[in-house]
Amino acid sequence: MEKAVIILSGGMDSTTLLYDIINQGYETYALSINYGQKHSKELECAAKTCQKLNVPHKIIDLSVLGKELLCNNALTSEKIEIPHGNYNEGNMKLTVVPNRNMILLSLAIGYAITLGAKKVFYAAHAGDHAIYPDCRHEFIEALKKAVSLADWESIKLEAPYLTLDKGDIAIKGKELGVDYSLTWSCYEGSDKACGMCGTCRERMEAFKKAKITDPLGYKD
């Protein structure tokens, strides 16, 4: 079996991709990063999913990033409130964590080289393009070139959901039997999802498109 590493946030996109690549026959290793997020609910979901699927899983503590280096955004700073609204609204740029994907992918690539894995997967999708610069096609293509040169044995970066929206991913997850009760999307860490932030709204639309019931509870 070919080995692969996946960046697993614990949200619905990366969890669906985890099921997907396992279904394709990869010997899969999951990597999750605590980069100083305001809450750990996604990381807890990632751990539960990997336990359920019997996938080797590492959670790396880099919380100093959010506290010291990547702190001028709503996801890591206690001084900035989580904005409400759709992703096409300007205030949602407050949720951009600077250079996050390049940092996380660099760690995953190093881990893949150590394991002898040839591929690194991450779940950037079409809905991310407008708000997150490190999910754009141009970024991924440039990084693919760099990744291929990161070791004497070529490593491939795979972003197979780049042309899919979140609804398409939910449809794929329905086909794969993804347990979405073990996922979390909301930027807030309450007992129930807020239903108001960009990622909650996008998730609700995705489940509507897939014609499946979202197992998470919402405040609103």
Q: How is residue 66 annotated by DSSP?
A: I
Tokens 């096609």 -> residue = 137
Contacts of 152 (CB under 8 A, 6+ apart): none
User: 3-class SS at 156?
Assistant: strand
Residue 153 has φ and ψ, to the nearest 5°, of -95, 125
210, 10, 111, 55 alpha-carbon torsion, rounded to 10°: -80
Taking the CA of residue 121 as centre, how many other CA atoms within 13 Å lie in the half-sphere pointing to its CB?
25
The DSSP code for 49 is H
Which domains does the chain carry? Answer: 3-210 (3.40.50.620)
By the 8 A CB rule, do 34 and 147 touch? no
How does DSSP classify residue 11? S
The terminus-to-terminus CA distance of the chain in angstroms comes to 45
Q: Give 55-105 pLDDT, tens digit per residue.
A: 999 999 999 988 888 888 888 888 888 888 776 666 777 888 888 899 999
Tens-digit pLDDT profile for residues 86-98: 766 667 778 888 8
Q: Is the pLDDT of residue 214 over 90?
A: yes
How far is it, in rounded angstroms, from Cα 163 to Cα 191?
32
What would you report as the CA-atom Rg of the chain, rounded to the nearest whole angstrom?
16
Specify the pLDDT at position 3: 98
pLDDT one-digit tens code per residue, 132-147? 888 888 999 999 999 9
Q: Which of 107, 166, 79 is nearest to 131 (CA)?
A: 166
User: Could you give the strand order of the β-sheet that contains 27-34, starting from the edge strand earlier in sequence?
Assistant: 57-61, 27-34, 3-7, 119-121, 156-158
> Coil, helix or strand for 202?
helix
| Confidence tier at 182 by pLDDT (50, 70, 90) | very high
What are the φ/ψ torsions at residue 145 (nearest 5 degrees)? -65, -45
Q: DSSP string of 69-133?
A: IS-SSTTT-TTSPPP-S-TTSGGGGGGPPTTHHHHHHHHHHHHHHHHT--EEE----GGGTTT-G
